[in-house]
Structure 1
Amino acid sequence: MIHYVKRKDLDTEKYNYCIENSLQSRVYAFSWYLDVVADHWDVLVLEEYKAVMPIPWKKKYGIKYVTQPYFCQQLGVFSIDTISKNQQEIFLKHIPKKYLKVTLSLNSKNILISNNLNRLNYFLKIPEDYKQLYKNFSKGRKHAIKVGEKEALEVKNTTANNLLRIHKKHYNFTIPEDKLIKLVKIANTKKAVMVKGVFKAGVLLGGAIFIVSNTRIIYLFSVFTEEGRKFQASSFLISIMLKGKENIGKILDFEGGNLENIGRFYRSFGAKEEHYSVFKRTFL
């Protein structure tokens, strides 16, 4: 039996246990993460938290609708045991009709939905032997990394605020900065974040925010100055992450790849693709 549970009534311990131990586990679905990135969220719960599906929602002009939060690529059904296609469809049918419009990204371990939008993501398992991994890099990516090495780039810890200053100056689109800063702050208390900067002679050229779980390192947010792009700072940063002994055995999740040029960049590291569905429904 599937129940709709409001956030305030949620058994957070049981819910997070299900997310942590689910076959589809993703950091996006933990309660502490959704509390930051979602305006509101409730949960569909199967029996005693054997499976759950978080429902992030907003309200505008009196209309409630389900929508994917910023900084949250994949949600969907999370289950301790294998979920069949039929069970997954039952979860989706249980999304209340009070939500007149639904746009919800499932996770790559959920069954793909036919006649719905399917998206691409790229990932790379980090092995013990970086040299073996390096062999699979494209010729262009190897050259880019050598440019960074020749320019004596360094990767060091930095702050979200430093990266956001670069974003304001060098990018022409806005993001919910307050949510990103809060997310980094909360994730830091969970030891679930790394904020890395790429420096040349002490000058910050850009960097990235990585969200960390037991199994994945998510390339959540990155920015680079024009000089950083010139000196291939992004390629250099990713190569350093792939070399890190503390990252061995984890999956580097590039969190994207639908745009061809972005997908080509990730593939140049030997990254593999995975697909996930975006479930859509409307009564408007």
Structure 2
Amino acid sequence: MISFVKRINVDVLKYNACIENSNQSRMYAYSWYLDIVADNWAVLVLNDYEAVMPIPFNKKYFIKYSTQPYFCQQLGLFSRGIISNDLQKEMLNHIPFKFLKVSLSLNSDNLLLSEETRRKNYTLKLSKQYVETQKCFSKGRKHAVKVGEKAGLKLGIITIDKLIEIQNKNYNYKIPEVTLINLTKTILQKNKGEILGVFKEDKLLGGGFFISDKTRIIYLYSAFNEEGRKLQAASFLISNVIKKNENSNLILDFEGGNMPNIGKFYRSFGAEEEIYSTFNKAFL
């Protein structure tokens, strides 16, 4: 039996246990994570939390619509067992009609939907020594890393407000700052991530916010200034994260790549394409 459960009625212990023990586990789906990034959310539950599908949603003029929150690339169906095509289809069909519009990204371990709904992500296995992984870097990426090294770049722990300041000065798009600040605070309290800055002497050039669980390190957010881009600070940062986590069972999740230039950048580290689908439906 599949039930639609409001957030207030979710058995958090059972729900989070299903996420943690599922074959599709992603940090995005934990209750505490969704409480931060989603304005509202509910969940479809199979029997006694054998499988779950979180449904984040917004309200506007008494109209409810489900959409993917910021800092939450993949959700979808999470199950302790094998997900059959019938189960996935049945769960998607149980999304209530009260959500007049639905646009939700499933996770890459869910069954793929139609070709036009598919999106690209890039991941890199960190199971080898750094020197072996680096052999798969493109010629240009190897050069970029050396540019940063020759410039004497260094890494250090920073606060998220420093990156947000760089974001606001150097990028033309805005992010939900309060959400990012709250998410960072909780992630750091749970010891599930770090914010790394790239420095040229004492000057901060930019950096990245990485979150991690038992299987993935996710490159969740980054920002660099003009000098940082010139000195290849992003390449320097990512190569050092790869080096720090060499010989592990972790995967570096670049959390992006659908845009051609971004995909090309991630592929230059030897990253592999990961495909996930977005489920879209309108009841208008």
TM-score, normalized by length of structure 1? 0.98
1:241 paired to 2:234: no
Aligned to 2:134: 134
Amino acid at match of 1:61: Y
Amino acid at match of 1:95: I
Distance 2:283 2:180 in 1: 32
Do 2:119 and 2:275's aligned partners in 1 also have CA atoms closer than 8 Å?
yes
Distance 1:173 1:83 in 2: 38
CA offsets 1:128-165 (integer angstroms, 9 cap, x no match) = 41100011100000000000000000011101000000
Deviating more after overlay: 115-124 vs 270-279: 115-124
Instruction: Give the 5 Å matches for 1:63-82.
Output: 63-82=63-82
CA RMSD of aligned residues (A): 1.0
Aligned to 1:258: 258
Deviating more after overlay: 128-137 vs 223-232: 128-137
Distance 1:128 1:235 in 2: 19
Aligned to 2:202: 202
Corresponding residue SS for 1:56: strand
Residue 61 of structure 1 and its aligned partner are, at CA, apart by: 1.3
Instruction: Give the 5 Å matches for 1:268-283.
Output: 268-283=268-283
Distance 1:247 1:156 in 2: 23
Do 2:129 and 2:246's aligned partners in 1 also have CA atoms closer than 8 Å?
no
CA offsets 1:5-32 (integer angstroms, 9 cap, x no match) = 1110000000000000101000000001
Do 1:116 and 1:280's aligned partners in 2 also have CA atoms closer than 8 Å?
no
CA offsets 1:78-131 (integer angstroms, 9 cap, x no match) = 000001011100000000000000000000000001265110000001124110
Distance 1:248 1:29, change over 3 A: same
Distance 1:189 1:146 in 2: 34
Distance 2:87 2:73 in 1: 22
Distance 1:193 1:60 in 2: 33
CA offsets 1:192-224 (integer angstroms, 9 cap, x no match) = 111000001110000000111111010000100
Do 1:116 and 1:278's aligned partners in 2 also have CA atoms closer than 8 Å?
no
Aligned to 2:148: 148
Aligned to 1:92: 92
Moved over 4 A (4+): none
Residue 59 of structure 1 and its aligned partner are, at CA, apart by: 0.5
1:224 paired to 2:210: no
Aligned to 2:32: 32
Structure 2 alignment gaps of length 5 or more: none
Distance 1:253 1:245 in 2: 13
TM-score, normalized by length of structure 2? 0.98
How many matched pairs?
A: 284
1:41 paired to 2:57: no
Distance 1:150 1:247 in 2: 26
